[in-house]
């Protein structure tokens, strides 16, 4: 397994590297943005697999836990606060590999997409 996927947090630079490696099938992970739809539409990291707003956390938590239990899950948000909270909950519910994007999208210098 890629060393970055064994960490509990990844920086924006590390996430950029992982996304490039995923594009060439060198690594596999699921990237989830936990911001709200309005924030996401204003700009999100190219390569996000799912938007799962924390305001509706209770409606998607169990499904995402089950879908990603056998995968590496990377969570991102604006600054890493909300994604850190979701990470803690997922870890306490037995998710074996959940990583927080440290610094969130405000620190990300890679490719950004707009719209839903």
Which range marks the domain in which residue 63 is found?
9-111
In a domain, 4, yes or no: no
In a domain, 3, yes or no: no
In a domain, 60, yes or no: yes
Q: Distance between terminal CA atoms of the chain?
A: 32
In a domain, 1, yes or no: no
Site of tokens 């950004």: 112
In a domain, 87, yes or no: yes
Residue 18, both tokens = 């992982």
Helix/strand/coil for 35 = coil
Residue 112, both tokens = 């950004």
In a domain, 47, yes or no: yes
Residue 25, both tokens = 């099938």
**CATH code of 63's domain:** 3.40.250.10
Contact 86, 57 (CB under 8 A): yes
In a domain, 2, yes or no: no
Helix/strand/coil for 87 = helix
If you count DSSP H runs as helices and E runs as strands, how many of each does the chain have, helices first? 4, 7
Cα–Cα distance between 36 and 55 in angstroms, integer?
7
In a domain, 102, yes or no: yes
Per-residue pLDDT of the chain in tens (116 residues, 90 and over written 9): 899 999 999 999 999 999 999 999 999 999 999 999 999 999 999 999 999 999 999 999 999 999 999 999 999 999 999 999 999 999 999 999 999 999 999 999 999 999 88
Query: Model-level pTM?
Result: 0.96
State how many domains the chain has: 1
């Amino acid at each position: 397994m890629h060393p970055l996927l064994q960490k509990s947090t990844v920086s924006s630079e590390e996430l950029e590297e992982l996304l490039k490696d995923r594009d060439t099938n060198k690594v596999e992970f699921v990237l989830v943005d936990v911001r709200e739809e309005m924030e996401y539409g204003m700009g999100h990291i190219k390569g996000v697999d799912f938007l799962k707003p924390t305001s509706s956390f209770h409606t998607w938590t169990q499904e995402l836990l089950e879908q990603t239990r056998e995968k590496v899950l990377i969570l991102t948000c604006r600054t890493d606060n909300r994604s850190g909270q979701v990470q803690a909950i997922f870890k306490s519910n037995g998710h074996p590999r959940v990583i927080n994007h440290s610094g969130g999208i405000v620190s990300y210098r890679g490719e950004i997409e707009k719209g839903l």
